[in-house]
Structure 1
Amino acid sequence: MMLEDLFATIQSRKHSDPTSSWTAQLLAKGPEKCAEKFGEEAVEAIIEAVKNDKAKLTSEAADVLYHLLVMLASRDVALSDVFAELTRRQHQSGLAEKDSR
């Protein structure tokens, strides 16, 4: 799966030289910077969605997914754990799940 492959690449960059990789640079700056960058990309995606620019939204959505994975990696959250949580939620109503939080 593409997300799993991308996440594996991101994980492999955790100990890479920051001068050799954008991902390594982000990770070297720490989880807070990774979260900030994810937030910036999410806002950019929202703007393009509101503008109804599908091409730019597609590009920004790719950035959001990438930066989400970087943020997860920076906090040692396994992508498989996120998938497991989605699977767990799939077996209940969205309204019931929201009420349980």
Structure 2
Amino acid sequence: MSADDDARSRERHPTRGSAETQREAADVLQRLSSVIASRRGGDPERSYVARLLSRGNDAILKKIGEEATETVMAAKDGVAERIVAETADLWFHCLVMLEFHGIGANAVLAELARREGLSGIEEKASRNGASKGEDRK
């Protein structure tokens, strides 16, 4: 990827946005989560989400595994557009998994907000009661 391609990619896919952009992103997640919820019990012949939900947890988890692998491969290739597209697929299927378990996207957003500003070590210790030495094997 040339320097110009890299700069154009950053313009199309900024890593951080304004507070308004972040609120809009959360709104997109909420709307998508609502659409996914509305597909529960729908016709599996007409709705991909209804079909996936009807197949159960293992089918959803398999799809998440596939999408996670594709996301990793895209990141390894380093093409921003593909990374974004594969991450969107992964997030979508994670939202389907959350719906299957009756968990709203707000629960995940609230957890991310709770962790904001904590170092990774502090956050892990608060979850697990982990001491600093426990991560060493």
TM-score by length of 1: 0.92
Count, aligned residues: 101
Structure 2 counterpart of 1:16, one-letter code = G
Deviation per residue, 1:10-40 (Å, 9 max, x gap): 0000111111101111000001211110111
Residue number among 50, 53, 76 corresponding to 1:24 in the alignment: 50
Residue number among 30, 53, 56 corresponding to 2:79 in the alignment: 53
Q: Which runs of no fewer than 5 residues in structure 2 stay unpaired? A: 1-26, 129-137
Structure 1 counterpart of 2:104, one-letter code = A
Determine if the alignment matches structure 1 residue 33 to structure 2 residue 59. yes
**Which is greater in Rg?**
2
CA RMSD of aligned residues (A): 1.2
Q: Please state how far the C-alpha of 1:63 moved relative to its aligned partner.
A: 0.4
Q: Please state how far the C-alpha of 1:91 moved relative to its aligned partner.
A: 4.8
Q: Please state how far the C-alpha of 1:99 moved relative to its aligned partner.
A: 2.3
Q: What is the distance in 2 between the residues matched to 1:56 and 1:94? A: 27
Which one scores higher on RCO, CA 8 angstroms, separation ≥ 6? Answer: 1
Residue number among 44, 69, 72 corresponding to 1:43 in the alignment: 69
Question: Helix, strand or coil for the counterpart of 1:15?
Answer: coil
Q: Please state how far the C-alpha of 1:61 moved relative to its aligned partner.
A: 1.0
Q: What is the distance in 1 between the residues matched to 2:104 and 2:75? A: 29
Structure 1 counterpart of 2:88, one-letter code = A
Q: What is the distance in 2 between the residues matched to 1:48 and 1:91? A: 28
TM-score by length of 2: 0.69
Q: Which runs of no fewer than 5 residues in structure 1 stay unpaired? A: none
Structure 1 counterpart of 2:71, one-letter code = A
